[in-house]
């Protein structure tokens, strides 16, 4: 007798039982993530997020909060430029809503903002130092190209493969150092979240 794919699948899953609690936890965690995504996109206010998180009771509330916290923590990343401030403020507001600990979260975020400013300053200083270090080499190449082509040539350090490689290497080290410190801040936020 030839069995259909459905019959074979039903036979294989016959002994498998659905853990309703795990399924509910997953669904509520995902709902918390979606709520927080809407909050970060500006579709919900921090008050609306807080209300949505407190509407649920007991375990469901914890699952919603866990989903929300995971999205907020994931959005706490090292800045690429000065435009991070608005996003950082939004994450702070969300974490206040999730933890209910405005004073502690705000204090920690003051430190994080100073830390981010320092990171961007160190990044800029590193770039300037490398450009200064490579300037004589770049001028030499410009002069060689001027002699070769008979016209003025202007090179950008970013066009130099050696400069780019060294910059990437140094920026990687800087990012690794700051990422470790950011991880510690996230751990402190996790402790605040769990202490609620």
Give the tens place of pLDDT for each residue, 103-147.
999 999 999 999 999 999 999 999 999 999 988 888 888 788 888
Query: Computed from CA positions of residues 160, 163, 165, 171, in that sequence, does the dihedral angle turn out positive or negative?
Result: negative
pLDDT at 57: 84
Are 29 and 22 a contacting pair, CB within 8 Å? no
Is residue 17 classed as helix, strand or coil in its secondary structure?
A: coil
CB atoms within 10 A of CB 164: 13
Which pTM does this prediction carry? 0.79
Are 70 and 128 a contacting pair, CB within 8 Å? no
- CA 114/CA 164 separation, integer angstroms: 28
Place of tokens 């993530």: 33
Q: Which two tokens stand for residue 195?
A: 């202490």
Predicted confidence pLDDT, tens digits, the chain (196 residues): 676 776 776 677 665 656 677 888 888 999 999 999 999 999 999 899 999 988 888 888 899 999 999 999 999 999 999 889 999 999 999 999 999 899 999 999 999 999 999 999 999 999 999 999 988 888 888 788 888 888 887 878 887 888 889 999 999 999 999 999 999 999 999 998 888 7
Query: What does each C-alpha distance from 42 to 28, 54, 94, 160 come to in angstroms?
Result: 21, 19, 11, 41
pLDDT at 184: 94
pLDDT at 93: 95
**Nearest residue to 72 via CA among 184, 178, 193, 181:** 193
């Amino acid at each position: 007798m030839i069995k259909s794919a459905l019959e074979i699948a039903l036979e294989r899953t016959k002994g498998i039982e659905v853990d309703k609690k795990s399924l509910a936890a997953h669904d509520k965690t995902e709902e918390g993530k979606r709520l927080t995504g809407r909050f970060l996109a500006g579709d919900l206010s921090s008050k609306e997020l807080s209300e949505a998180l407190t509407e649920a009771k007991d375990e469901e509330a914890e699952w919603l909060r866990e989903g929300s916290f995971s999205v907020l923590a994931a959005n706490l990343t090292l800045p690429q430029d000065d435009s991070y401030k608005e996003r950082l403020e939004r994450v702070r507001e969300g974490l206040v809503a999730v933890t209910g600990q405005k004073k502690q979260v705000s204090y920690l975020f003051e430190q994080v903002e100073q830390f981010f400013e320092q990171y961007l300053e160190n990044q800029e200083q590193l770039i300037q130092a490398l450009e200064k270090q490579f300037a004589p080499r770049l001028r030499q190449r410009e002069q060689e190209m001027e002699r070769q082509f008979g016209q003025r040539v202007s090179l950008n350090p970013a066009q130099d493969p050696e400069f780019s490689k060294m910059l990437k290497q140094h920026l990687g080290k800087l990012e690794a150092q700051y990422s470790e410190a950011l991880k510690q801040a996230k751990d402190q936020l996790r402790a605040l979240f769990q202490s609620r």
